[in-house]
């Protein structure tokens, strides 16, 4: 691998992380008042946090995340195809139509199952 490229990428990412991080130095130089009430989570202004934080939430969010994974991989898979779509000819086109029809059937199946039926 090209050392110069690796170094540049490392410098880029390092600087882009470091400079925002420098702004957090206010944690050291800024005021540091402490107190029982001050150190509590604010939430909505009520002193102590009421209720459990790790509460359950709708399973639909998990299903949507899984659905996202499938479609995201589909989209990423399409990028190399999209770049060379002119060269691939009708064969490549039909291949991709078949692939997309499968995924589209999946989307319709999931919608039929009621993942997006909110109550």
Partner 1 sequence: MSLTLINVLAAVIIAIAFVAANAAYLVWAERKGAGFIQRRPGPTENGPWGLLQPPVDGIKLMTKQLLIPGGVDKIIFVIAPVLAMFPSIVSFVTIPFSDTIVAHNINIGLLMIFVFGSMSAMAILMGGWSSRNKYSMISSVRAVSQAVAYEIPMLITAITVVMIAGSLDLMEIVHKQSGGFWHWNIWPFQKGLFNILMPASFLIFFICSLAETNRAPFDLGEAESELVAGYHTEYSSMGFGLFFMGEYANIVIGACLTTILFLGGWDCPFGLFPGVWWFIVKIYILIFTFIWIRWTFPRTTIYSLLNLSWKVLIPISLFNLLLTAGLLKVF
Q: What is the Cα gyration radius of the chain? A: 25
Structure tokens at 54: 């790790």
Residue 91's alpha-carbon distances to 36, 81, 87, 96, 100, in angstroms, are 69, 12, 10, 9, 14
The number of residues making up the chain comes to 119
Distance (Å, whole) CA 38 – CA 41: 8
Residue 65: CB minimum distance to partner 1, A:
6
Distance (Å, whole) CA 9 – CA 15: 10
């Amino acid at each position: 691998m090209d050392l110069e490229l690796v170094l540049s990428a490392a410098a880029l990412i390092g600087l882009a992380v470091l400079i925002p991080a420098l702004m957090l130095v206010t944690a050291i130089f800024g005021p540091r008042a402490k107190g029982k009430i001050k150190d509590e989570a604010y939430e909505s202004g009520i002193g102590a946090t009421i209720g459990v934080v790790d509460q359950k939430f709708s399973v639909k969010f998990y299903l949507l995340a899984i659905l996202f994974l499938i479609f995201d991989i589909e989209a990423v898979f399409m990028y190399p195809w999209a770049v060379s779509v002119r060269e691939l000819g009708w064969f490549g086109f039909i291949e991709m139509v078949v692939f997309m029809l499968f995924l589209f059937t999946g989307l319709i199946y999931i919608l039929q199952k009621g993942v997006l039926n909110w109550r």
